[in-house]
Structure 1
Amino acid sequence: MLYRQVKRQLINDIQSGFAAPGAALPNEKDLAQRFQVSVGTIRRAVDELVAEHVLLRQQGRGTFVGKLDRERFMFQFFKIVPRDRPSEFPEVRLHKFAKSRATQMEAQALGLHGNQWVFRIENVLHLQGQPVIHDRITIAAAMFPGLNQASFTARTTTIYGHYQAAFGVTIVEADERVRAELVLPDSAQLLNLAMPSPVLRIDRVAHTFDRKPAEFRTSIVDTRNFDYVSRMREMT
């Protein structure tokens, strides 16, 4: 359908950097002239991108390319909340940063061929001053050229915001598998848990446009005082 072609071109503009994160989109009339389509076709393409959080519509201001800032991260991707208090942004502390060859499981999750180079990053996330989440992140080195521990640690935004701002990789969706298991020794030490203790394990594959895998992440969560909350919205 015609609106899908317009949507694809708008995505191409974002991927190429022509439409930068936070930039305002031209108005519907100008876009219609550019693509030689009706305003209704433009509106349908933009509406889908807004629903997918790729674009952000602000009343009275216009439509903007979405930025993966703290607010969007908390709304779309962070699902661990205190049981009896409002949600809060986690304090992220780097534990390990290394570059090595992908394991078979990592290669499969990231759609890599063979044992390509990957970055492995481990973080401990603190909430209410307590270590609550042990994250193990794997990303393809080819997708994030030049990434190093110094630049990763010095980022001034979320990890997904850093992917977007520094490498042009926009995370638009993620698939998660959640299960309960007993904590392993390394996570137990980082989260101050006794062995054996039950924890929540979340395996996430985060995708950029066209469902291209960009990140494989395993999160081990101490749920004694925290819950996993999934936010659902009505489909229209």
Structure 2
Amino acid sequence: MTQLPAASISAQPGIAYRKVKSILISEIASGVLQPGVKFPNETLLAKRFGVSVGTLRRAVEELVAENILVRQHGRGTFVRSLDEERFLFQFFKLADRDGNFEYPKVELVAFSEAAATAQEAKVLGLQVGDAVFRLENVLSLQSRATVHDRISIDAKLFEGLTQKCLTERAGTIYELYQRRFGVTIACADERLRAEDADARSAELLGIAPGASVLRIERVAFTVENRPCEWRISIVNSSQVDYVSRSAHN
């Protein structure tokens, strides 16, 4: 069982569960509670916090609903790992015309460190001129270049990130964020619109400049609700659909 520091909460139940939840989020964010590791027994956790099991369970259930924790029948509760299966369900929403989802082949085509623009600073909660990493990826489905990603992240939050880290990672980029840098992506906001492909995206996707494409803007947030990634995805949607799915109990 994971050994956790002592803690005690003194508050009304409706407030206490939120304090419990806040502490658990902080411990997940700091790596005290690590992805893939079995969550401590709820009775012992309740004792640790000085709250009822019902209060503790309310906090845990919200974290499960928010995809931060996962329950596995017969095994227990775990901090969710952002593996390919979870990435496909929660963050990658492109399917073929028959509704089939496929984990894309990812090719890194550019990586650099730069000073944050006004827009990057606004989205990521930085100051203009703060260091950011910029990445460009091409994602292929069924051997066809389908998505051109432009990604900006806070260089301080991902200190030590290199091109080698990105090209040699074993899993998803969100697994890399989580396991190497302790940054767990909990959710993301997305905006979609149709637009014309610029020259760079057209070249990488093998389409004509000005061709109609789907633009997906995503801001990803940590478990502490901190914006940590700004991503613009240009999608050649001639053979794929954007599909938003809901979890079914």
1:44 aligned partner: 58
Q: What one-letter code is carried by the residue in structure 2 that aligns with 1:66?
A: R
Q: Are 2:37 and 1:23 aligned? A: yes
Q: Is the 8 A contact 2:27 2:33 kept in 1?
A: yes
5+ long unaligned stretches in structure 1? none
- Residue equivalent to 1:194: 208
Please state if 1:216 is matched with 2:230: yes
C-alpha distance in 2 between matches for 1:139 and 1:105: 12
CA shift, 1:210, in A, is: 3.0
Determine the C-alpha separation between the residues in 2 that align with 1:12 and 1:85: 37
Whole-Å Cα distance in 2 between the matches of residues 209 and 62 of structure 1? Answer: 21
How far apart are the structure 1 equivalents of 2:230 and 2:209?
Answer: 26
- Matched AA of 1:223: S
Q: Which amino acid aligns with 2:24?
A: L
The one-character-per-residue Cα deviations of 1:80-122 (angstroms, maximum 9, x if unpaired) are 1111251100000011001111111111110101211110000
Aligned length: 235
Match of 2:183 in 1: 169
- Please give the secondary structure, in 1, of the residue aligned with 2:32: coil
Offset of residue 209 of structure 1: 2.3
Residue of structure 2 in register with 1:129 after alignment: 143
Shift of residue 196 of structure 1? 2.2
Q: Matched residues in 2 for 1:124 and 1:150: separation?
A: 17
* CA deviation profile, 1:18-76 (whole Å, cap 9, x unmatched): 11111111111111111111010111000000000100100110000110110110110
**Corresponding residue of 2:156:** 142
Aligned partners of 2:115 and 2:131 also within 8 Å: yes
Partner of 1:69: 83
Q: Which amino acid aligns with 1:135?
A: D
Alignment partner of 2:244: what SS?
Answer: coil
Report the Cα offset of residue 172 of structure 1.
Answer: 0.4
1:81 aligns to what? Answer: 95
Superposed CA RMSD = 1.3
* Identity of matched residues, %: 54
One-letter identity of the residue aligned with 1:148: T
Structure 2 residue 130 is matched with structure 1 residue 116: yes
State the match for 1:181 in structure 2. 195
| 8 A Cα contact 2:83 2:175, kept in partner | yes
Q: TM-score, normalised by structure 2?
A: 0.92
Residues in 2 aligned to 1:138 and 1:163: alpha-carbon distance in whole angstroms: 13
Equivalent in the alignment of 2:25: 11
Match of 1:226 in 2: 240
